């Protein structure tokens, strides 16, 4: 099996590529060249192709199209983690006889949930233009795949990604080392009044696994959108308490009115969304159809991320 991965040196790809190699796949990674290629036995067996995935029109778009056409072959599986121009990439894959395209999305594309855990059907439109546009594209490509107008198609929707390789979500909805250092010191965390939101960090290793499962079982994955996530989510207060356990300190929590939280504590809408919309996807379909099981709990994924930060001296 030959698998082409667009964006394979990022957080998800860093865990996915070794899985694919161990699974016996011949792997080609397309990268901008910004991410460092890991030095390990699995990566030594990977072919690296450097190309710019800008998805633009004109000469830039034509160059990307020609570049990708040279790499793709009949029967390949194409995993597009970046998704900058999914429709264009799908058209190129069709022209080269690719058998299966697997795309990465986000559970945020499903909008603000009205009930949890939530399945792969959008409950409300997402307010962010980028995710909303990509969601429509995924829907359009999905219908083309089902109709036979191109390769088989599968989409994977991760929640908040944690685990080694990236600074984990902090208590202000970002990935800020300064916030983590304040947590290490036991600084009081401000949370909004009212019922707690559910926060579901999922380890990058667990996020990578469905891509491997889908590549291995194309017919069972075809025409499907799958949520991926942990077995459960944490309340915001449990999320803070977990960091207290990890950093070995007591982190006090003080509740403030939502207006104050939104205007003074976390004014950025994207960061604040972590504290106003539940992130607790239903992974039943992924379990039943592809045999997925998360290997790490939310707490373990945060532990693993902090251990990685310590190992690389990010926390000082």
The CATH number covering residue 120 comes to 3.40.50.720
Q: Decide: pTM greater than 0.75.
A: yes
| Residue 68 domain-assigned (yes or no) | yes
CA-wise closest residue to 312 among 36, 12, 82, 81: 36
User: Does 114 lie in the same domain as 82?
Assistant: yes
User: Does 128 lie in the same domain as 193?
Assistant: no
The CATH number covering residue 168 comes to 3.90.25.10
* Domain of 196, in residue numbers: 164-200+232-279+297-311
Four-residue CA torsion sign, 211, 214, 215, 216: positive
- The pLDDT value recorded for residue 78 is 98
User: CA distances (Å), 281 to each of 6, 25, 60, 228, in order?
Assistant: 25, 29, 37, 7
| Residue 291 domain-assigned (yes or no) | no
| Residue 113 domain-assigned (yes or no) | yes
Low-confidence ranges of the chain (pLDDT < 50): 55-58
Domain count across the chain: 2
Nearest-angstrom CA–CA distance, 65 and 210: 27
Provide Rg for the chain, Cα atoms: 20
- The pLDDT value recorded for residue 114 is 87
User: Does 169 lie in the same domain as 94?
Assistant: no
Among 184, 212, 227, which residue terminates a domain?
227
- The pLDDT value recorded for residue 32 is 80
pLDDT in tens, 163-206: 999 999 999 999 999 999 999 999 999 999 999 999 999 999 99
């Amino acid at each position: 099996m030959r698998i082409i991965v667009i964006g394979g040196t990022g957080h998800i790809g860093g865990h996915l590529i070794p899985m694919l190699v161990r699974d016996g796949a011949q792997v080609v990674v397309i990268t901008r060249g910004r991410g460092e290629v890991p030095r390990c036995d699995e990566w030594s067996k990977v072919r690296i192709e450097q190309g710019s995935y800008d998805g633009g029109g004109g000469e830039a778009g034509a160059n990307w199209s020609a570049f990708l056409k040279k790499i793709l072959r009949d029967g390949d599986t194409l995993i597009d983690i970046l998704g900058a121009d999914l429709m264009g990439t799908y058209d190129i894959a069709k022209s080269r006889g690719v058998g299966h395209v697997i795309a990465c999305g986000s559970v945020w594309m499903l909008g603000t949930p009205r009930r949890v855990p939530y399945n792969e059907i959008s409950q409300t439109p997402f307010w962010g233009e980028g995710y909303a546009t990509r969601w429509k594209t995924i829907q359009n490509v999905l219908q083309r795949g089902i109709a036979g107008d191109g390769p088989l198609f599968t989409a994977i929707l991760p929640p908040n990604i944690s685990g080694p390789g990236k600074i984990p979500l902090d208590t202000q909805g970002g990935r800020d080392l300064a916030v983590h250092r304040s947590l290490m010191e036991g600084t009081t965390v401000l949370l909004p009044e009212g019922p707690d939101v559910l926060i579901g960090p999922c380890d990058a290793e667990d996020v990578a696994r469905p891509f491997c499962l889908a590549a291995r079982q194309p017919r069972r994955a075809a025409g499907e959108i799958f949520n991926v996530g942990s077995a459960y989510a944490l309340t915001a207060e449990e999320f803070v308490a977990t960091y207290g356990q990890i950093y070995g300190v007591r982190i006090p929590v003080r509740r403030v009115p939502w207006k104050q939280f939104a205007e003074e504590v976390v004014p950025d809408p994207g960061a604040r969304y972590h504290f106003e919309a539940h992130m607790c996807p239903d992974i039943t379909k992924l379990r039943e159809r592809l045999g997925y099981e998360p290997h790490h709990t939310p707490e373990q994924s945060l532990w693993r991320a902090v251990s990685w930060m310590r190992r690389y001296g990010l926390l000082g």
